[in-house]
Amino acid sequence: MNNSFLSMASIVDFDPLNPSVPATKVEITVSCRNLLDRDTFSKSDPICVLYTQAMGNREWREFGRTEVIDNTLNPDFVRKFILDYFFEERQNLRFDLYDVDSKSANLSKHDFLGQAHCTLGEIVGSLGSRLEKPLGGIPGKKCGTIIVKAEELNNCRESVMMQFCGNKLDKKDFFGKSDPFLVFYRSNEDGTTIKIEVYDWDRDGSHDFIGEFSTSYRELSRGQSQFNVYEVVNPKKKGKKKKYLNSGTVTLLSFLVDTEVTFLDYIKGGTQINFTVAIDFTASNGNPAQPTSLHYMSPYQLNAYAMALKAVGEIIQDYDSDKMFPALGFGAKLPPDGRVSHEFALNGNPQNPYCAGIDGVMEAYYQSLKSVQLYGPTNFSPVINHVARYAASVKDGSQYFVLLIITDGVISDMAQTKESIVNASCLPMSIIIVGVGPAEFDAMVELDGDEVRISSRGRYAERDIVQFVPFRDYIDRTGNHILSMARLAKDVLAEIPDQFLSYMRTRGIKPSPAPPPYTPPGQPIQTQI
Reported confidence tier of residue 186, pLDDT bands at 50, 70, 90? confident
Task: Say which DSSP state 11 is in.
Answer: S
For 143-176, write each residue's pLDDT tens digit: 999 999 999 986 656 788 899 999 999 887 666 6
Give 445's Cβ-side CA count (13 Å radius).
5
Task: Indicate the angle between helix axes 414-424 and 381-392, nearest 10 degrees.
Answer: 20
Quick one: average pLDDT of 347-372? Answer: 96
Q: What is the pLDDT of residue 442?
A: 84
CA-CA distance, 483 to 177, in Å (whole number)? Answer: 60
Distance CA 161, CA 168 (A): 24
pLDDT at 15 exceeding the cut of 90 = no
Q: pLDDT at residue 13 above 70?
A: no
- Mean predicted lDDT score pLDDT of the chain: 88
- pLDDT reading at 521 higher than 60: no
pLDDT at 19: 30
The per-residue pLDDT for range 19-44, each reduced to its tens digit, is: 334 458 899 999 999 999 987 778 89
Asked whether this chain's domains 24-152 and 264-507 adopt the same fold, the reply is no
CA distance 470 to 406: 10
The domain limits of the chain are: 24-152, 158-259, 264-507
Q: How far apart are CA 461 and CA 463, in angstroms?
A: 5
> HSE on the CB side for 164, CA within 13 Å?
24
Neighbours of 208 (CB within 10 A): 15
- The Cα–Cα gap between 75 and 69 comes to 7
Question: Residue 89: helix, strand or coil by DSSP?
Answer: coil
Q: Does domain 24-152 have CATH number 3.40.1370.10?
A: no
Model pLDDT, residue 529: 29
Share of the chain above pLDDT 90, in %: 69
Q: Could you tell me the CA-to-CA distances from 132 to 48, 52, 66 in Å, in that order?
A: 15, 19, 18
CATH number (2.60.40, 1.10.287, 1.10.3470, 3.40.91) of 158-259 reads: 2.60.40
Q: What is the mean pLDDT of residues 120-137?
A: 95
Statement: residue 10 has pLDDT above 70: no
Q: Characterise 346 by phi-psi region: left (phi > 0), alpha (psi -120 to 50), beta (else).
A: alpha
Inter-residue contact 488 to 455 (CB < 8 Å): no
In angstroms, the CA 460 to CA 527 distance is 61
CATH number of the structural domain 264-507: 3.40.50.410
Distance CA 309, CA 407 (A): 11
The DSSP code for 357 is H
**Residue 254 in this model has a pLDDT that exceeds 90:** yes
